[in-house]
A and B are shown apart, each in its own frame.
Chain A
Amino acid sequence: MTKRINRWSILTTLIALLLTVPLWVLVSFVFEPTNDNWAHLSDTLLPEYIINSLWLMLGVTIGTLLLGIPTAWLISQYHFWGRSILHWALLLPMAMPAYIIAYTYTGLLEFEGPVQSALRTVFETHTVNLWFPEIRSLGGAIVMFSLVLYPYVYLLARTSFANQSQSVMHASRTLGAGPYKTFFKVALPIARPAIIAGLTLALMETLADFGTVQHFGVPTFTTGIYRTWTGFGDTTTTAQLSILLLVFVTVLMAIEFWSRKKAQYFTGHNQPLNKTLPTLTGHQNLLAFFVCLLPILFGFVVPALQLLDWSINVASTQLNSEFFALVWNSFSLAFITALITITIALLLLYVKRAQQHAFIDNTVRVAGLGYAIPGVVIAVAVMIPFAWLDNTVDSWARTHLDISTGLLLSGTLFALVFAYCFRFLSVALQSVGSGLSQIKPSMDESAKTLGANNWTLLKRIHIPLLSSSLITAFILVFVEVLKELPTTLILRPFNFNTLSVRAYEMAADERLADAGLPALLIVITGLIPVIILSKLIGKRHA
């Protein structure tokens, strides 16, 4: 018995170690001396990366809070026109990757785009150049991120507002506080940890973004890492730049962890809010409706319509075998990755469940670190050890066997799938883990006392109870892989294209309309997990 337990524990530790090898390799570069490129970088570009990243984070903080908190408060506290649709439709922008919404607004707002053309027609300023804010700027990027990332704040704030005890609000009223004081001094502070947790998730996405800032020409860490890697091929400097970015991410992770812990105290034993919400009437009703409609309109409906328009225009020429090869590449890659990721997650979680040991708990936690690490960094971190291995094997083979083995790992699909697995394992761990946590060990024991053997236990108890969270995990990983841009861009084999890479390449070539079809397909697929998410929440609140 003891021996078998040890074997499983060792296997788990090995998997966690192997998956995280890229991370440890990367961290080892902390001790590597810096070179000339670094000196050049720190004199010129690095301050810009840091300042731009800080501005982005500040702007996205303001933007997501402004969009997320009022909508969350209205939806959680009042009945108004369209609420039953708005409350889940507010999640729709989550299906829109930031780089795709950036392409659509570039198309909409550029000089030849529909908005400026319409303005010129109205004001008849054919000759005079009408001043118009440049969307491809830092400010534009902030708006794009805010529009697609506010759902994180909305979701967590709404849950927190809805779970706040009604009696706490009433206590505030009996102590002489009116509605405004009650909101600002009671409801908002109690929701603050949840809001901060949502905000840090949005900021981590902002830091991880590559496509938007690249398209808008805003130099940040991710574009810098990409440039240093592809332009200079300087491993050391790329790795060191990546580590610097990871420092930012770690700070955010720490804040998120701390906030979630605090949020537990803040919602402790309170009873959930009474179901009877007051109904808004008249202009208040209208105002609430528009406050909740605008983020959906600009974060989803408008860009989706633009994508649809582009797609229809190019469908006749672009819907060809080349496009279907693209779809096949993307979908099969996402399918295989999802399967492997979930298998690993299941293995880790079952060992964790059986062992109930702090060491295994922490091992699983470390294996799930990938989600916090930006895709660019993961790609670089995977590339470094794989390329080293390839080179070592190749030179050994050349000298001893007189043959060249070429690229065995790097530049193959293996490297890509490996990177995806590391990056998205925590998505699978969370989803499968929440399903598995419903199967209490006492259920196993009671089934056994009722005469069930291991196989019956699995078939009658575990599989039925786990199936829905397995499917959810599969879809979540599938869609994440489909959306992922920088990892794919760096690690894909030569001439291997996916939907996201195609959209990126077309946009980079200023052929925005040609990016429409692949982008639209990504968004449509991205809707599936959003629908699942809103269903899950609906069930919890029913």
Chain B
Amino acid sequence: MRELHINQIESRHQNTVILNQISLHLEAGEIGCLLGPSGCGKTTLLRTIAGLQPITQGSICLGEQTVSSDCVHIATESRKVGMVFQDYALFPHLNIADNIRFGIEDFSKKQQQERIQTLLELVDLSGKETRYPHELSGGQQQRVALARALAAKPQILLMDEPFSGLDVELRENLARQVRGILKAEGITALMVTHNQNEAFAIADSIGVMNSGELLQWGSSYTLYHQPNHPFVADFIGQGVLINGTVCSCSQVHTALGNLKTNVCDDFAPDERVSVLVRPDDIIHHDESDWQLEVVNRVFRGSHFLYTLKLDNGEHVLCMSQSHHDHEIGSKIGVKLEMDHAVIFPLQQENIAQAPN
């Protein structure tokens, strides 16, 4: 297993920039995940690593070897990458064992057999060797695709929306299983998804992409609590942006009062900014003197998500336990629990993420 090093790459398709100056690094054995809306370029990035797509600038290195640059393009079949495709791309004319065997035909017969058995046990499909792809369920096909990609011990495993064809209930469960398998084999892997729960379940590090750019690369905790871009703040979790004014180096003034912040070096005093408020920053507390009006509410089973109106008319979200049932129009008590406020340059339109 090798580390992956992507340095300032650019990819174009007919003069349209698909990937713009992307850099990222995966340690050997690390599991990374690219998260973003459809069309953001995340699948293209995966395909450049596999060599299915050329790059126009920058370089991609697997371990010590440069596999892609503006002048190098090692053919896909010589890269030793494993890839799991969105539609699994199992060979319909081969049975499960032969699908897994496809990439290891230069092994001895005995080694092939051992590897196939090991992998089938790993993905919990022992005894299904002679079945054909169309005889398996979606989840089983997905695991065969994983076993096939792992068979030749690739330098890196690439997965393109591997769970998108499955039932929602299956996805997170399977994502956790796959993480277990990857960690057990110590595999460097990079996955693409648009579903943040899958990303949280499987990845050590997550990158958020939009319009061909990698906006932020970090742990799920960092992305949620310290987003460096309004798009990341919007895409990961829920929240709203409210107006604020920087008053000193560590304070920002908002309709919620003066909030502590530690990233105000970039902002001048008195500069107007946008402040991210997550639903878990505002806690419902019946005894609190601070009362806000409920303008909307959504029942989410384990909790209520209330939309509350601040004194200046701005809206914020608030999570409460599900037995706290308050009518729209009534006032509820809240208190603030926010360590450090995340602030961005003033946005044209604050993210008004109405609960749905």
Q: How far is the CB of A79 from chain B (nearest CB, A)?
A: 14
Q: How many A-B residue pairs have CB under 8 A?
A: 78
Complex Cα gap A170–B76 (Å): 8
Question: Which of A138-146, A186-194, A504-512 has 4 or more CB atoms under 8 Å from chain B?
Answer: A186-194
A406 located at the interface, meaning its Cβ lies under 8 Å from any Cβ of chain B in the complex: no
Q: How far is the CB of A539 from chain B (nearest CB, A)?
A: 25
Is the beta-carbon distance between B152 and A175 smaller than 8 angstroms?
yes
Is the beta-carbon distance between B87 and A190 smaller than 8 angstroms?
no
Given A167-B85, A268-B134, does the pair A174, B50 have CB atoms closer than 8 Å?
Answer: yes
Complex Cα gap A190–B90 (Å): 11
Is the beta-carbon distance between B77 and A171 smaller than 8 angstroms?
no
Given A190-B92, A192-B93, A266-B92, does the pair A177, B77 have CB atoms closer than 8 Å?
Answer: yes
Q: How far is the CB of A171 from chain B (nearest CB, A)?
A: 4
A168 located at the interface, meaning its Cβ lies under 8 Å from any Cβ of chain B in the complex: yes
Q: Which of B50, B93, B152 contacts A189 (CB 8 A)?
A: B93
Is the beta-carbon distance between A269 and B87 smaller than 8 angstroms?
yes
Q: Which of B85, B90, B152, B158 contacts A176 (CB 8 A)?
A: B152
Complex Cα gap A189–B90 (Å): 13
A270 located at the interface, meaning its Cβ lies under 8 Å from any Cβ of chain B in the complex: yes
Which residues of chain A are within 8 angstroms of B134 by Cβ–Cβ distance? 265, 268
Complex Cα gap A354–B16 (Å): 53
Is the beta-carbon distance between A174 and B93 smaller than 8 angstroms?
no
A173 located at the interface, meaning its Cβ lies under 8 Å from any Cβ of chain B in the complex: yes
Nearest B residue (CB) for A263: B92
Q: How far is the CB of A162 from chain B (nearest CB, A)?
A: 16
Complex Cα gap A165–B90 (Å): 10
A271 located at the interface, meaning its Cβ lies under 8 Å from any Cβ of chain B in the complex: yes
Complex Cα gap A178–B158 (Å): 19
A172 located at the interface, meaning its Cβ lies under 8 Å from any Cβ of chain B in the complex: yes
Nearest B residue (CB) for A186: B91
**Within A150-196, which residues are at the interface with B (CB < 8 Å)?**
165, 167-168, 170-178, 185-186, 189-190, 192
Best-surrounded residue of B103, B132, B152 (most CB of chain A within 10 A): B103
B201 located at the interface, meaning its Cβ lies under 8 Å from any Cβ of chain A in the complex: no
Is the beta-carbon distance between B83 and A170 smaller than 8 angstroms?
yes
Is the beta-carbon distance between B50 and A170 smaller than 8 angstroms?
yes
Is the beta-carbon distance between B92 and A170 smaller than 8 angstroms?
no
- The number of chain A residues with a CB under 8 A from chain B is 24
Q: How far is the CB of A293 from chain B (nearest CB, A)?
A: 30
Tell me the dominant secondary structure on chain B's binding face. loop
Nearest A residue (CB) for B154: A174
Complex Cα gap A168–B83 (Å): 11
Nearest B residue (CB) for A169: B89
Which residues of chain B are within 8 angstroms of A174 by Cβ–Cβ distance? 50, 52, 76-77, 79, 81-83, 149, 158
Complex Cα gap A171–B91 (Å): 9
B176 located at the interface, meaning its Cβ lies under 8 Å from any Cβ of chain A in the complex: no
B75 located at the interface, meaning its Cβ lies under 8 Å from any Cβ of chain A in the complex: yes
Is the beta-carbon distance between A175 and B103 smaller than 8 angstroms?
yes
Is the beta-carbon distance between A170 and B93 smaller than 8 angstroms?
no
B102 located at the interface, meaning its Cβ lies under 8 Å from any Cβ of chain A in the complex: yes
Which residues of chain B are within 8 angstroms of A173 by Cβ–Cβ distance? 51-52, 75-77
Q: Which of B76, B80, B82, B89 contacts A168 (CB 8 A)?
A: B89
Which residues of chain A are within 8 angstroms of B21 by Cβ–Cβ distance? none
B143 located at the interface, meaning its Cβ lies under 8 Å from any Cβ of chain A in the complex: no
Nearest B residue (CB) for A270: B87
Is the beta-carbon distance between A175 and B148 smaller than 8 angstroms?
yes
Complex Cα gap A168–B82 (Å): 13
Q: How far is the CB of B273 from chain A (nearest CB, A)?
A: 44
Which residues of chain B are within 8 angstroms of A192 by Cβ–Cβ distance? 93
Given A170-B50, A268-B92, does the pair A176, B83 have CB atoms closer than 8 Å?
Answer: no
Complex Cα gap A49–B76 (Å): 53
Nearest B residue (CB) for A192: B93
Q: How far is the CB of A115 from chain B (nearest CB, A)?
A: 44
Complex Cα gap A286–B272 (Å): 66
Tell me the dominant secondary structure on chain A's binding face. helix
Which residues of chain A are within 8 angstroms of B145 by Cβ–Cβ distance? 171
B86 located at the interface, meaning its Cβ lies under 8 Å from any Cβ of chain A in the complex: yes
Nearest B residue (CB) for A265: B134
Given A176-B152, A177-B102, A268-B134, does the pair A171, B92 have CB atoms closer than 8 Å?
Answer: no
Which residues of chain B are within 8 angstroms of A268 by Cβ–Cβ distance? 92, 134
Q: Which of B52, B75, B80, B148 contacts A170 (CB 8 A)?
A: B52
Q: How far is the CB of B31 from chain A (nearest CB, A)?
A: 18
Complex Cα gap A171–B157 (Å): 12
Which residues of chain A are within 8 angstroms of B78 by Cβ–Cβ distance? 176
Q: How far is the CB of A187 from chain B (nearest CB, A)?
A: 10
Complex Cα gap A66–B52 (Å): 30
Complex Cα gap A176–B80 (Å): 7
Which residues of chain B are within 8 angstroms of A185 by Cβ–Cβ distance? 102
Is the beta-carbon distance between A165 and B87 smaller than 8 angstroms?
yes
Complex Cα gap A177–B102 (Å): 9
Q: Which of B87, B132, B151 contacts A271 (CB 8 A)?
A: B87
Which residues of chain B are within 8 angstroms of A266 by Cβ–Cβ distance? 92-93
Which residues of chain A are within 8 angstroms of B94 by Cβ–Cβ distance? 189
Complex Cα gap A377–B52 (Å): 55
Is the beta-carbon distance between B87 and A178 smaller than 8 angstroms?
no
Given A176-B80, A177-B77, A178-B75, does the pair A171, B85 have CB atoms closer than 8 Å?
Answer: yes
Which residues of chain B are within 8 angstroms of A189 by Cβ–Cβ distance? 91, 93-94
Nearest A residue (CB) for B84: A171
Best-surrounded residue of A170, A178, A186, A192 (most CB of chain B within 10 A): A170
Which residues of chain A are within 8 angstroms of B92 by Cβ–Cβ distance? 168, 190, 265-268
**Within B80-131, which residues are at the interface with A (CB < 8 Å)?**
80-83, 85-87, 89-94, 102-103
Which residues of chain A are within 8 angstroms of B132 by Cβ–Cβ distance? 265
Produce 1/0 per residue, B40-83, CB < 8 A to A: 00000000001110000000000000000000000111111111
Complex Cα gap A172–B76 (Å): 9
Produce 1/0 per residue, B331-349, CB < 8 A to A: 0000000000000000000
Is the beta-carbon distance between A167 and B89 smaller than 8 angstroms?
yes
Complex Cα gap A271–B83 (Å): 17
Which residues of chain B are within 8 angstroms of A267 by Cβ–Cβ distance? 92
Which residues of chain B are within 8 angstroms of A271 by Cβ–Cβ distance? 87
Which residues of chain A are within 8 angstroms of B80 by Cβ–Cβ distance? 176
Nearest B residue (CB) for A179: B77
Is the beta-carbon distance between B87 and A176 smaller than 8 angstroms?
no
Is the beta-carbon distance between B103 and A167 smaller than 8 angstroms?
no
Produce 1/0 per residue, B228-246, CB < 8 A to A: 0000000000000000000
A-B contact pairs, 26 of them (CB 8 A): A167-B87, A167-B89, A168-B89, A168-B91, A168-B92, A171-B83, A172-B91, A172-B102, A173-B51, A173-B76, A174-B50, A174-B82, A175-B77, A176-B77, A176-B78, A176-B103, A176-B152, A178-B75, A178-B77, A190-B92, A265-B92, A265-B132, A266-B92, A267-B92, A268-B134, A271-B87
The 7 closest A-B pairs by CB, nearest first: A175-B103, A167-B89, A171-B89, A173-B76, A167-B85, A174-B83, A189-B93
12 other A-B residue contacts (CB within 8 Å) besides A168-B89, A171-B148, A174-B82: A167-B85, A168-B92, A170-B52, A170-B83, A171-B90, A171-B145, A176-B80, A185-B102, A192-B93, A265-B134, A269-B87, A271-B87
